[in-house]
Amino acid sequence: MKNIKKMINDLSKLDQSKMHNDDFLLTWEKTDDEIDSVFKVAEILRGMRENNISSKIFDSGLGISLFRDNSTRTRFSFSSACNLLGLEVQDLDENKSQVAHGETVRETANMISFMADVIGIRDDMYIGKGNTYMREVSKSVVEGNKDGVLEQRPTLVNLQCDIDHPTQSMSDMLHLINEFGGVENLKGKKIAMTWAYSPSYGKPLSVPQGVIGLMTRFGMDVVLAHPEGYEVMSEVEEVAKANALKSAGSFKKTNSMEEAFKDADIVYPKSWAPFVAMEKRTELYGKRDFDGIKELEGELLAQNANHKDWECTEEMMELTKKGEALYMHCLPADITDVSCVAGEVSANVFEKYRVATYKEASFKPYIIAAMIFLSKVKDPSETLTKLMTQKKERHFE
């Protein structure tokens, strides 16, 4: 309880004023104070729940979820976050809406937002589309509020787009902060964000881009590794370079998984599709060229098959610092001889770190809740102090 009060006091010294009534779309759009505020509020909310103190700031209201791609962890994390704050969740199933009948984005955004306080969107499959769509929804609800259609302006939270996966990278970072005993202990630590083989072809780039776009802010030595031809967005690499320069860390690229793993403190082997290929797929879908898409899939699967040696094995882990680097993954991982014949990580390595990856995932509901909280509360430290003073029990025994 003393630790919670200390965190609230530390939070009061940070400037998060511009987060009120604002969205959370890309981590690099947020200041250092704002990023730190999300971490602190997430930890406070977790501490309150562990101490059986209610953190509900809403008596009613909706959290709207729109998932244009499959999801387990993020979907349930969003629902858990909304519930933690007192909101009920309603899924928008576009197949059951009027979107298929030509309803515009502006109209849909306003019609789902009459009593909504937050909208969470996952739209990660098509380059140049997902983040753009989110901003169009945001613009529409801002106009709806200004025009008097909406009583409040819903916050939009990026649950993964084509550019960034902020709720994932922020959860990853909070996991590291806890594992290494504080953010100050991450300075100079080497993290290897590496491509790994997968028997599927179209995994989004937003996880590796989110990692390099965030971890470089904390003075870490970030290495991005992938075979030739699996490049990520160049503009995100520029963000990583600028972050590293500012934080006195480093950002390097290599085409060798072994080089990336060597003396690493943390490894994050994760498959993704080449940026150029994802651009091409977006173009083909726009033309409804399904034969072309099928042909592209075949090409990419064959390309992946040339790099089956990009696997996180016990031998590869031996290259890391003292052979004991922390293994991370956003899940689900492609586990060799478990979920697939050959994949991103060997069964022995994954099993060794299985509990750690589950803990990594457990921070996401609190990160999402913190993003919502900071958008909906004018004075976060004051509101948290009131909740702590009231000590309303979350459940009765």
Domains located in the chain, CATH noted = 2-164+364-390 (3.40.50.1370), 167-361 (3.40.50.1370)
- Rounded to an integer, what distance in angstroms lies between the CA atom of residue 305 and that of residue 252? 25
The pLDDT profile of the chain, 397 residues, written as one tens digit per residue, is: 789 999 999 999 999 999 999 999 999 999 999 999 999 999 999 999 999 999 999 999 999 999 998 899 999 999 999 999 999 999 998 876 666 556 899 999 999 999 999 999 999 989 999 999 999 999 999 999 999 999 999 999 999 999 999 999 999 999 999 999 999 999 999 999 999 999 998 899 999 999 999 999 999 999 999 999 999 999 999 999 999 999 999 999 999 999 999 999 999 999 999 999 999 999 999 999 999 999 999 999 999 999 999 999 999 999 999 999 999 999 999 999 999 999 999 999 999 999 999 999 999 999 999 999 999 999 999 999 999 999 899 999 8
In angstroms, rounded to a whole number, what is the distance separating the alpha carbons of residues 250 and 328?
20
Q: What whole-number distance in Å separates Cα of residue 384 and Cα of residue 17?
A: 15
Burial, 169: exposed, middle or buried (Cβ in 10 Å; 0-12, 13-18, 19+)? buried
Strand partners, 253: 224
Which residue carries 């990520």 as its tokens?
Answer: 232
Q: In the 3-class helix/strand/coil scheme, how is 327-389 assigned residue by residue? A: ECCCCCCCEECCCECCCCECHHHHHHHHHHHHHHHHCHHHHHHHHHHHHHCCCHHHHHHHHHH
Question: Contact, 228 vs 199, CB < 8 A?
Answer: no
The distance of Cα 40 from the centroid of its chain, to the nearest Å, equals: 17
Number of Cα atoms under 13 Å in the Cβ half of residue 317: 21
Q: Please indicate, yes or no, whether the overall pTM of this predicted structure exceeds 0.95.
A: yes
| CA 221/CA 321 separation, integer angstroms | 13
Interatomic CA distance for residues 314 and 261, integer angstroms: 12
Token pair in block for residue 146: 């200004």
Count CB atoms within 10 A of the CB of residue 24.
27
